[in-house]
Amino acid sequence: MNKGDGSIFSSLLFLKNRTVPLILFFSFLLPAFARAEVNTSLWQTKKSQHFIIYYQETTDDFVNELSASAENYYNSIVDDLGFRRFDFWSWDDRAKIYLFNNSADYLNETGGAAWSGAQVSVKRRVIKTFIGQNDFFDSILPHELTHIIFREFVGPKTELPLWLDEGVACSQEKSSLISRIESAKALVKQDAYLKFDKLFGIYNSTLIVPNVFYSESASIIVFLLKKYDRDFFLDFSRKLRDGIQWKDAILNTYHFSNFEEMESAWEDFMLNK
Ligand SMILES: [Zn+2]
């Protein structure tokens, strides 16, 4: 991971056609983004306990729904990951969601790839996205919020493999998580999944086959969250936050003697789902 502020975390594609695999663009420190949140000043704002939404010409209904959804997701994500007892940001330091009117304005501002649906800076707690994406409320919003919440807890500079960050983010999606789990199950049945020693070595999205990567990563986190006591994930995250190397943290928390043992426990879990 970049030793800078590690701020630009990912951008994610949710294509309208759900059968098309997601593609992740993992990059750090886009210079334009580091200088200013956005270039234009024509923003209206809607504030809630944890978020400030910046928007331009969208309807009040959409902004009200976004505001309510972001707060609801904030609560469900901290509950599901076991982070409820911790104070994250709130009034004084709210996360910002920039809502562009369309894909062209968003791409123009972020300089992202044409398939990019959202961009998140975990350190600055900023999400940039645009209106009109089918999976926005169902998947994009919880996915990007989870990136921010998880990294808020473990620290933006903590070095983690890609599957861990993306698996945690995917684990909080709604309908897309269901299809990812089904894909992962099929991969296990066909013995076509990425072996853990390969998966664990990926720190850069240029090396991934998106459909396999996201599905498998999501399913491993779901396995850790559902099969074991929920406090384990909190304990694991605490160890990451305290600087324990992620492999030691996982083995130690979940009592696996090695990753072969974890891999076969995950396979059993997937086959019996
Ligand atoms: Zn992501």
* Alpha carbons 82 and 91: distance in angstroms, whole number: 22
Query: Measured in angstroms, how far is the CA atom of residue 166 from the centroid of ligand 1?
Result: 5
Query: Measured in angstroms, how far is the CA atom of residue 141 from the centroid of ligand 1?
Result: 11
Report pLDDT for 125: 93
Report pLDDT for 41: 66
pTM of the model: 0.85
Report pLDDT for 40: 61
Sheet containing strand 8-12, edge to edge, reads 24-25, 8-12, 118-121, 126-130, 95-100, 51-55, 44-47
H or E element that contains 121:
strand 118-121
Query: Measured in angstroms, how far is the CA atom of residue 38 from the centroid of ligand 1?
Result: 21
Query: Measured in angstroms, how far is the CA atom of residue 145 from the centroid of ligand 1?
Result: 10
- Closest CA relative to residue 151, chosen from 28, 20, 25, 258: 28
Query: Measured in angstroms, how far is the CA atom of residue 118 from the centroid of ligand 1?
Result: 9
The tokens for 127 are 């999400």
Query: Measured in angstroms, how far is the CA atom of residue 24 from the centroid of ligand 1?
Result: 7
pLDDT tens for residues 28-46?
333 333 345 666 668 999 9
Please name the residue that has the structure tokens 């304990």: 235
Residues carrying CATH 3.40.30.160, the chain: 8-154
Q: Kindly give the parts of the chain with pLDDT less than 70.
A: 1-41, 90-91
Please name the residue that has the structure tokens 């994009």: 140
Instruction: Indicate the fold that domain 8-154 takes in CATH.
Output: Glutaredoxin (3.40.30)
147 bridge partner residues: none
Report pLDDT for 15: 34
